[in-house]
Amino acid sequence: MILWEDNDYMVINKPPHLATLADRSEPVSVLSLARTYADAAQVCHRLDKDTSGILAIAKNPEAYRHLNMQFEKRTVGKIYHAVVDGLHQFENRLVDMPIIKMDDGLVRIGREGKPAQTYFISLRSYKGHTLVECRPITGRMHQIRIHLSTMQAPITGDDIYGGKPFYLSSVKRSFNLKKDTDEQPLMKRMALHAYSLEFKDTSGNSVKVVAPYPKDFQALVRQLEANE
């Protein structure tokens, strides 16, 4: 999973369905695995369990504080890629809507929420979907998901915020399903991937790392390209 590392940090490509931090129901996590590699490892930010992609991990407390300060000052460059439902032409569109965290673990938009800003750029349009670049300025929980939903562009497969699953039968006329079976979505999660991260190492040098798409995200994009 390691894409880049030095004496202070390792940057990984987190697979989907793996939690960043452990809890009672998920004893295995990114952090627990990282600490088998570096005893003092600390994750510097989080990704939702079903979100794949780039994650920075500090190997020592000083490095953790150094990168944490960059996140607080919002000088870390974060890019996500998402496949969303519908056709959309976002040209560096800013969504500036405060987010409220609810007791049930979800979020909603509300004036009394914490400030949240995300920029969106459409990268490619398909028949009924769009590949979108997302650049969050703040780092609120479910920020990209709820901001896209407010523009009627929910992430494909994100049923919590209005996204619909993607079925091969929707693009393949010759698709045949085995008798007495139900068709399963091509991706068994939302189509959101943390694509790149840019920050300063402890020497002040710029580091930019890109995380390739995982297999399920690649498969979705290939099917959309094949049926444009």
The partner residues of 93 in beta bridges, in order of sequence, read 120
- DSSP label at 109? E
CA proximity to 216, closest of 30, 1, 13, 16: 16
CA distance 63 to 45: 13
Instruction: Considering the candidates 48, 85, 158, 216, report the single residue annotated as catalytic.
Output: 48
CA distance 113 to 12: 31
Catalytic residue status for 48: yes
Residue with tokens 């920020």: 143
Q: Which residues contact 11 (CB under 8 A, 6 or more apart)?
A: 2, 3, 4, 5, 54, 55, 56, 57, 197, 207, 209
Catalytically active residues, by annotation: 48
